[in-house]
Chain A
């Protein structure tokens, strides 16, 4: 994407990070009807996914890392930092590769489901490492992985609307090609 200045680029990336932080804070207030450790909607993924369609990998990585660290400062749980960081970076990497090599054949919904899936896979790996037990991860596996289809679908639809109605419009108004 062509920005008119580095300040403009910095401004847009900060705006994205700020939106993602608010979204991750908001989703903590939404109670989910399941008692699963680490189960979240992944609303911040809307920002990561939409940004991947417009920004370079490095830029989105910065947005993800800033989001994770600031959310950690607000929430203050070391565990959630490890989880969010591993999940966020792994799902970002997977979604980036999908968009880069298979953009023609896949819609944001598919990318989002894949991202949510990788996010949960990363969490299961971290869980296995912390508890030194693969068996525990496999026990939670089916439930957590199945939820990634649901949450990924929801986030994908929202990202699609976000890209079409807001993102492209903001770009047009600000004359960014």
Chain B
């Protein structure tokens, strides 16, 4: 078995696309002001909290139960009744762009930061 030139091209393409998505992630994680935890079900936003708040709340949707916790600048799903429990074990969200998803329940929490100079900041 030996490698051919095409293998390296494929490896290069896959690696570059991976690095591009990684760079997008790193770049947006620098935004650290006015960060909000956005709770969505089925792609619709149902709740928003400031990342600095201290909250434990249970969401009972038609697809299932999810309990979220926001504490000391981190947000995560602490409990869920989904079959795989992937969401409970996912890395806690703390930077802009981070998200925790519970796919069976179509439930997600996402951190969205707003950079300065937006209309909201002025109207406040």
Q: Which residues of A contact B (CB under 8 A)?
A: 35-37, 77, 79, 98, 102, 104-107, 109-111, 113-114, 117, 127, 130-133, 135-136, 138-142, 145-146, 148-149, 157, 160
Contacts and interface: CB of A to CB of B under 8 A. Distances in A.
A135 B103 contact: no
Contact of A107 (B7, B18, B90, B97): B7
B99 A107 contact: no
Interface residues of B, number: 39
Contacts, number: 112
Contacts of A36: 86
Nearest to B17: A145
Given A105-B5, A136-B101, A145-B21, 7 more contacts: A106-B5, A106-B10, A132-B44, A135-B99, A138-B24, A148-B14, A160-B1
A142 B18 contact: yes
B6 A102 contact: yes
A133 B103 contact: no
Given A37-B103, A105-B4, A141-B18, A113 B10 contact: yes
Q: Which of B14, B22, B43, B108 has the most CB of A within 10 A?
A: B14
A110 B7 contact: yes
Nearest to A113: B10
B2 to A, nearest CB: 7
- Interface residues of A: mostly helix, strand, loop or mixed? helix
Given A102-B6, A133-B43, A138 B103 contact: no
Contacts of B1: 107, 109, 157, 160
B21 A110 contact: no
Nearest to B11: A113
Nearest to A109: B7
